[in-house]
Amino acid sequence: MARDTQIAHETHAIHPDLAENIAYCKKMMGNSNDLMIRPLQSLHKWPSILLYIDGLVDTQVVNQAVLHPLMQVRNLPDFSADDEHLSYLQNDVLTASEVLFIDDMDAALKSMLAGEAILLLDGSTRGLKIGAAGWEDRAVGEPVSQTVVRGPMEGFTENLRTNTALIRKRIRDPQLWIEEREIGRVTKTRVAVLYLEHTVNEDVVDELRRRLDEIDIDSILESGYIEELIQDKTTTIFPTVYNSERPDTVSAALLEGRVAIIIDGTPFVLLVPALFMHFFQSPEDYYQRADISSLVRLLRYLSFLIAMLAPSFYIAISTFHQEMLPTTLLISLAAQREGVPFPAFIEAVLMELTYEILREAGIRIPRTVGQAVSIVGTLVIGQAAVEAGVVSAAMVIIVSITAISSYVIPENGLSISVRILRFILMMAAAAFGFYGILIALLITLTHLCSLRSFGVSYMSPFAPFIQNDLKDTLFRVPWSHMKTRPLSNGTSNVTRQKRKKTKR
């Protein structure tokens, strides 16, 4: 450990001899072919080289803002100090928007790998790093995982600066602060923390800074790495960090006093704190009238209960509580199950596992054969399985409505949690009927109440009960009544709007 720490703090100063600097770069990068070394013959008095990584820089910026101005220099003044040469090039020659001094070769290599060009002069122990990043990026397009009928159609990309700009475009307030840091010893991934300084809970920001600074890992390739490393409790199936690829969703969360975490290389932005009710909210709820939004939101909660409880209820009723069904329906179900060789629990497990396999196959297989798999899955799960007497028609209906209901939940993380919980409830129903379901639900509810997301109770505003925050939970009241921000976030600025009453 001591040796690793010593190596991490060692630096390699820029050598006055250009050949030494070139040799060091080639050694550190293993003579990689994408390391471009451009000697500049135009500066006759000052022999120099331009270093950059091919594919990470914008060649147009390099040509127009660096090479062209340097080649136009004719009458070179004489300076006594090395820094005066560099200052002249920085202030009077180079036209790039960002030109800064650099002192050692390790920092130069790091800058080149971030898309910057390095200008070194013979005889000087300092250099210039020039902002010229310009690798290929995906254009801003429509979000894939969180679509809406009404609302903005912009989604985040894999470029961190593009993502911060999409938020800046919506929140034009200088109090929107952005803190950047690098995480990952090898990947050196840029991570940005965004919050509204006059609105955010400072305790949440301080705790987030502490958790991010404690991360010591060699790579961060996606926001899922950060999500798992900063969450409060890992022994839970429920997500305690929200993720979204919609700039409007992240902007709305920032305006409520929450904190956003943007990771370079992924379009999914993290939001903390994340409460249980947040996973039922869709951005479209706030673009439609309150009555329509409330109705749709209630439908989501109902779909959540169906996706979680439908198979276990069927198992409990058909196994232990047949007296709860009307006689006609009971006779119909008994007739359907007459030729089925498995008990209701085994039948439900087989159907659910088959559906999960088909679901994963539909995600992983190439799109060209996706339609064929869908047809086969429909035939296997539906008509063929019933006619073969493997499952009953009622079970096919139960599994189908359960699968459809799980997709009504706007956030995929909670949908996965429901799928896991569904199997637990099915086992409880097979063992003890409705009593088992009730016990499992009580344990689940107790577990939910014990969870916290960055110091905030996961079940707020229900537990603890905060009456002021109920206006945007099961229902969404009209905007004229939403005058304050949610108190559960601990925001320092509660007032959202001040509305003067006028007669109409």
H/E element holding 152? none
Give pLDDT tens digits for 379-436: 666 677 777 777 888 888 888 899 899 889 988 889 999 999 999 999 999 999 999 9
- What pLDDT is recorded for position 9? 44
Q: How far is CA 341 from CA 330, 337, 445, in A?
A: 18, 8, 35
Q: What is the pLDDT at residue 501?
A: 61
Tell me the backbone φ, ψ of residue 214, rounded to 5 degrees. -80, -10
What pLDDT does 78 receive? 67
What digits encode the pLDDT tens for the residues 441-460? Answer: 999 999 999 999 998 999 99
Partnered with residue 263 across adjacent β-strands are 191
pLDDT of amino acid 502 = 57
Q: What are phi and psi of 70, to 5 degrees?
A: -65, -35
Q: Give the pLDDT of residue 144.
A: 84
pLDDT in tens, 47-80: 889 999 988 888 888 888 888 888 877 666 666 5
Mean pLDDT is highest, among 314-323, 366-375, 379-388, for 314-323
Query: Strands (DSSP E) along 185-285, which ranges?
Result: 189-196, 242-244, 259-263, 269-272
Work out the pLDDT band at 500, boundaries 50, 70, 90.
low
pLDDT of residue 253: 94
Among the residues of 242-343, which ranges form H helices?
A: 247-255, 290-319, 327-336
Share of the chain above pLDDT 90, in %: 41
Q: Could you count the other beta carbons within 10 Å of the beta carbon of residue 32?
A: 11
Q: Percent of the chain, pLDDT > 70? A: 90
Helix, strand or coil, per DSSP, at residue 438: helix
Q: What is the pLDDT of residues 327-346, one digit of tens each?
A: 887 788 777 777 778 888 98
CA distance 403 to 359: 10
CB 143 within 8 A of CB 157: no
